[in-house]
Amino acid sequence: MGRYCIRVATGASLFAGSHNRVRLWLVGAHGETELELELRPVRGQEEEFEHDVPDDLGPLQFVKLRKHHSLVDDAWFCDRITVQGPGAGEEAAFPCYSWVQGDGVLCLPEGTGGGSGGRCGAWGTADEARLAGDNALDVFQKHREKELKERHQIYCWATWKEGLPLTIAAGCEDDLPSNMRFHEEKRLDFEWTQKAGALEMLLKRVYTLLSSWNRLEDFDHIFWGQKSTLAENVRQRWQEDEFFGYQFLNGANPMLLRRSTALPPRLVLPSGMEELRAQLEKELQNGSLFEADFILLDGIPANVIQGEKQYLAAPLVMLKMDPHGKLLPMVIQLQPPSPSSPTPPLFLPSDPPLAWLLAKSWVRNSDFQLHQLQYHLLNTHLLAEVIAVATMRCLPGLHPVFKFLMPHIRYTMEINTRARTQLISDGGVFDKVVSTGGGGHVHLLRRAMAQLTYCSLCPPDDLAERGLLGTPGAHYAHDALRLWDITARYVERIIQLFYHGDDVVRGDPELQAWCQEITEVGLCRAQDRGFPVSFQSQNQLCHFLTMCVFTCTAQHGAINKGQVPLGHHKEKYFSEAKAKAALNQFQTDLANLEREIAARNEQLDLPYEYLKPSLTENSITI
């Protein structure tokens, strides 16, 4: 006879507890036993039980759960179960972090390595996570095969629009698997923020309804309500050329600017502009000429809002870096040349102030379109959803990459499903108020998808290709490279625990299927744009995982704000000491970067905070 101590932890979110009775079984290598417990889980609590078992169960392999209900199926969110067996052996952990509902049996595999008897070989090390074994009779192998078979039925691909990444098959958020839904606090916060924003817009509309805007200062009528230091800086400086240039380096969309290697062919300089040409060529020779080309917008059909035709520009902006590190605009061309149209006019800082300001405003309008659709929606949201769906379809819960990625794909399916039904849907927000709405946004996304490359998602490659490495005042570039490096070291520490050589990477069928699912299925055969269809080495795997995490965290944070600090999550998917140490070091590195950024920002007139780790979300949730 042996005594087992069982601890059952329930999630802390609203409605995580349950009034239904839960039955538990311990399953070991030598047998199993049902625990005679009266367990009715309570939100946010860990309940402890002791149970005497007459027979030797052997090393624990699984805990089985079954929730019973009579009239109401009261779902229970189980965090984890830990079991201390007879003797002084290690405590066995059974991570769950999912909803238990219905009356089926949920089987949680042991997650500390003890259940495998400490074996290595095909399993890798005796760690919490396990790689796929080649023994079809092994209980863990059967479990992971059964799990993936069930997940393939639950997590299905769908085509939202032809020519774009595939999505989760869900007509609305209620169609999503329960474990991909917002927890109640998140749902309430999200919906309250939506309502508060809509109310503020309504009040501002009423406030300005009876007054016409005759001066630029009249824009102040809408600058009240929720404010930030950054918003106030924008309000005060939006007309300045220096701030206009600064936004290309460190604004909401720092992804378009590049250092010029030649004068763009579309920049047609008419006679009488020889002085401008000389200035441009001088800056080009000095390596201080930059450009932002919005050619992707050329020919995109504009929306019609309330019967009024909208317009789109496809500008080209040429800028110079002055000796003080200020990026200043030199010339703006709002449309590219066309054989059927006169040579497009060029706008200069020496033009009448309102004409020059209007040209810059058209640039900012175009920047909004590319920022929201190409760099925000496509390059972060839709890409993260592909990673999330492929992870759920190809990697079982025991796989180390699954455990590693779970904090970074949380809530992504729901926020994207809500976007497809409310924001970019037919008759949604884009159709009602945005000049690329009414179908133009889909055309633009298809063009952007055709240009999406693997290298463009990796800051060391992207910034080098755009010639921005070492650019003075490029705070996005500096912070992105630092975060990429910190994330890469974290990835390497985790991966090296489970993959002890390139041959182990090549021989992992689940990992290879995951890679292929992302590139060939989710991204619609993107291997011609550099995305891998297999992993041949540790380095290749680490680079790809760093891209995945960076996209779901820092890159999204650079263009949108989050709520939960990067590297901090309550879920303990890894229990093994070395994996915990890797996460702790990641958190330490992020804290050091936070201090570096804070010290730098104290010296800046306009602090750059978009990539502060404390403001960078663990996953794409907004």
- Please give the helix or strand (H or E) that residue 585 lies within, else none: helix 577-601
pLDDT above 60 for 564: no
Q: Are 303 and 440 in contact (CB under 8 A)?
A: yes
Residue 32's DSSP bridge partners are 27
Residue 57's φ and ψ, nearest 5 degrees, are: -80, -15
Q: Which region among 50-54, 312-316, 356-360, 428-432 has the lowest average model confidence (pLDDT)? A: 50-54
Reported as a pLDDT band with limits 50, 70 and 90, residue 135 is low
Q: Which amino acid is at 612?
A: K
Q: Which region among 218-227, 229-238, 479-488 has the lowest average model confidence (pLDDT)? A: 218-227
Edge to edge, the sheet with strand 60-68 lists: 31-39, 21-28, 60-68, 105-109
Can you tell me which residue has the tokens 């000429």?
A: 289
Q: Residues 236, 242, 247, CA angle at the centre, nearest 5°? A: 80
Q: Which region among 137-151, 199-213, 529-543, 545-559 has the lowest average model confidence (pLDDT)? A: 199-213
Reported as a pLDDT band with limits 50, 70 and 90, residue 103 is confident
* 293/319 Cα distance (integer angstroms): 11
Reported as a pLDDT band with limits 50, 70 and 90, residue 123 is very low
* 593/295 Cα distance (integer angstroms): 36
In this prediction, residue 476 carries a pLDDT of 97
Residue 616's φ and ψ, nearest 5 degrees, are: -105, 120
Reported as a pLDDT band with limits 50, 70 and 90, residue 306 is very high
% of the chain at pLDDT higher than 90: 68
In this prediction, residue 597 carries a pLDDT of 97
pLDDT above 80 for 296: yes
pLDDT above 90 for 574: no
pLDDT above 90 for 220: no
Query: In this structure, how many other beta carbons lie within 10 angstroms of the beta carbon of residue 369?
Result: 23
* 255/243 Cα distance (integer angstroms): 17
Q: Which amino acid is at 216?
A: L
In this prediction, residue 225 carries a pLDDT of 65
Residue 317's φ and ψ, nearest 5 degrees, are: -120, 125
For residues 530-541, average pLDDT? 98
- DSSP structure class, residue 255: T
In this prediction, residue 124 carries a pLDDT of 29
390-429 b/e (C-beta count within 10 Å ≥ 16 → b): bbbbbbbbbbbbbbbbbbbbbbbbbbbbbbbeebbeeebe
* 526/516 Cα distance (integer angstroms): 10
CA dihedral for 283, 288, 292, 293, sign (positive or negative): positive
150 half-sphere exposure, CB direction, 13 A CA radius: 12
For residues 268-280, average pLDDT? 94
Q: Which region among 67-81, 164-178, 250-264, 446-460 has the lowest average model confidence (pLDDT)? A: 67-81
Q: Which region among 111-120, 219-228, 398-407, 498-507 has the lowest average model confidence (pLDDT)? A: 111-120
pLDDT above 60 for 613: yes
- Whole-number average pLDDT of the chain: 90
pLDDT above 60 for 552: yes
% of the chain at pLDDT higher than 70: 94
* 367/364 Cα distance (integer angstroms): 5
Q: Are 346 and 316 in contact (CB under 8 A)?
A: no
Q: Are 328 and 356 in contact (CB under 8 A)?
A: no
> pLDDT tens digit string along 332-375?
999 999 988 888 999 999 999 999 999 999 999 999 999 999 99
Gap between the terminal Cα atoms of the chain:
53
Q: Are 567 and 590 in contact (CB under 8 A)?
A: yes
pLDDT above 70 for 1: no
At 153 the three-state DSSP class reads helix
At 226 the three-state DSSP class reads coil
For residues 58-64, average pLDDT? 90
* 162/498 Cα distance (integer angstroms): 38
- DSSP structure class, residue 72: -
Burial degree of 348 (CB within 10 A; 0-12, 13-18, 19+): middle
Can you tell me which residue has the tokens 């080649």?
A: 134
According to DSSP H, which parts of 251-352 are helical? 274-286
Q: Which region among 67-81, 380-394, 553-567 has the lowest average model confidence (pLDDT)? A: 553-567
* 231/587 Cα distance (integer angstroms): 30
In this prediction, residue 420 carries a pLDDT of 97
Measure Cα distances from 53 to 25, 29, 57 in Å: 11, 14, 8
Antiparallel, parallel or unpaired: β 327-333 and 316-321? antiparallel
pLDDT above 50 for 127: no
According to DSSP H, which parts of 69-220 are helical? 139-154, 184-209
Q: What is the dihedral of CA 397, 399, 402, 407, to 10 degrees?
A: 80
Residue 590: partners with Cβ closer than 8 Å, 6 or more residues away: 486, 565, 566, 567, 613
Reported as a pLDDT band with limits 50, 70 and 90, residue 208 is confident
- DSSP structure class, residue 254: T
